[in-house]
Amino acid sequence: MAILIGGDTRLVVQGITGREGTFHTLRNRAYGTNVVAGVTPGKSGQDVEGIPVFDTVEEAAGATGANAGLIFVPARFAADAIYEAADAGLGLVVCITENIPVKDMAVAVAYLHGSGTTLVGPNCPGLISPGKANVGIIPGEICSPGAVGLISRSGTLTYQIVNELTQRGIGQSTCVGMGGDPVHGIGFVEALERFEADPQTEAVVVIGEIGGSDEERAAAFIRDHVSKPVVAYVAGFSAPPGKRMGHAGAIITGSSGTAQAKADAFEEAGVRVGRNPAEVAELMRETLRG
């Protein structure tokens, strides 16, 4: 099983002919992902090492049966790329692009509500179901197939923790990098819902960091709805308090968004919290043995 992507994923890459797009498309294909098409406006009829390129996602999906999209287009065109993927009926869209204006994402995320399209990202490393499919830029070499699901706001920190797991012989069902933008697609709660329902997943690692209140909401969701064991990590205990302009953010969250507040929320929900990446993997090993 795994979540969101697997052996049945048929991927179309938007922005396939760009430098990053080509590089990561070929890496994803080399990993075993079924990359069926690419899209670059005006380059229809060309191919990237045998992957056919189309003008629109609609045409790509119609011709190849693509069911998932991966976006590498520049920030100012990225929101449109998300709309295009959703309108073409793709069930999953993974947006790697960073620096997309918040206003564009607020409207895009609102548009996707109830559309049947799940968004991962933006500003994220993508996701991987080890041994099955890799969609994005997570290095497949550090992952191994197994029973631990992982959801994270971070990039390289995710790799670090996945690597610690793999080195201890703990494989992963799916690793999801949800990205660090304030307005984003899939979050901790939506991923936890899917991991809870996924037969391959036996336990979950949640990797959070300072800012916002995603971790606090994840903790409440785990307490009420997740039966599988969860181990958490929060980065940023010694991060400097950001220079704050207004008070509105603190009024909304009712907390300062500190690492300590987030770790406390997890522990109150019965989630064990590792103090560093190695300890997260150790706690997971104990959990799986238990």
Q: Which residues are catalytic?
A: 247
**Encoding tokens for residue 224?**
């009420």
Where does the chain have alpha helices with state H? 19-31, 57-64, 75-87, 102-112, 156-167, 188-197, 214-225, 248-253, 259-268, 277-289
Helix 75-87 and helix 57-64: axis angle, to 10°? 40
Residue 43 binds another protein (CB under 8 A): no
CB of residue 111 to another protein, shortest distance in Å: 7
Report d(CA 93, CA 180) in Å as an integer: 16
Residue length of the chain: 290
**Encoding tokens for residue 287?**
């959990």
User: Closest Cα to residue 59, out of 71, 43, 78?
Assistant: 43
Residue from 34, 67, 158, 201 binding another protein (CB under 8 A): 158
Angle (CA) 236-239-240 rounded to 5° is 155
| CB of 60 or CB of 206, closer to another protein | 206
CB of residue 62 to another protein, shortest distance in Å: 28
| CB of 7 or CB of 182, closer to another protein | 182
Which residues, including other chains, have CB under 8 Å from residue 115's CB and lie 6 or more apart?
86
Residue from 95, 100, 148, 205 binding another protein (CB under 8 A): 100
Residue 276 binds another protein (CB under 8 A): yes
| CB of 61 or CB of 263, closer to another protein | 263
CB of residue 138 to another protein, shortest distance in Å: 7
Size of the site for another protein (CB under 8 A): 65
| CB of 71 or CB of 100, closer to another protein | 100
Beta bridge partner(s), residue 13: 38, 70
Cβ–Cβ under 8 Å, residues 232 and 271: yes
β-pairing, 47-48 vs 51-54, is antiparallel
| CB of 52 or CB of 126, closer to another protein | 126
Site for another protein in 187-246 (CB under 8 A): 207, 209-210, 212-214, 217, 233, 235-240, 243-246
Residue 26 binds another protein (CB under 8 A): no
CB of residue 106 to another protein, shortest distance in Å: 4
Report d(CA 53, CA 39) in Å as an integer: 5
Over the window 49 to 88, marking each residue x when it contacts another protein by CB under 8 A and - when it does not, the resulting string is: --------------------------xx------------
**Encoding tokens for residue 142?**
């550090």
The interface region with another protein, picked from 35-43, 134-142, 264-272, 282-290 by CB under 8 A, is 134-142
| CB of 87 or CB of 104, closer to another protein | 104
Residue from 1, 7, 30, 99 binding another protein (CB under 8 A): 99
Give the Å distances, CA to CA, from 5 to 2, 69, 91, 118, 185: 7, 11, 10, 11, 16
Residue ranges binding another protein (CB under 8 A): 27, 75-76, 99-107, 109-111, 137-139, 141-142, 152-160, 163, 180, 182-184, 207, 209-210, 212-214, 217, 233, 235-240, 243-254, 259, 275-278
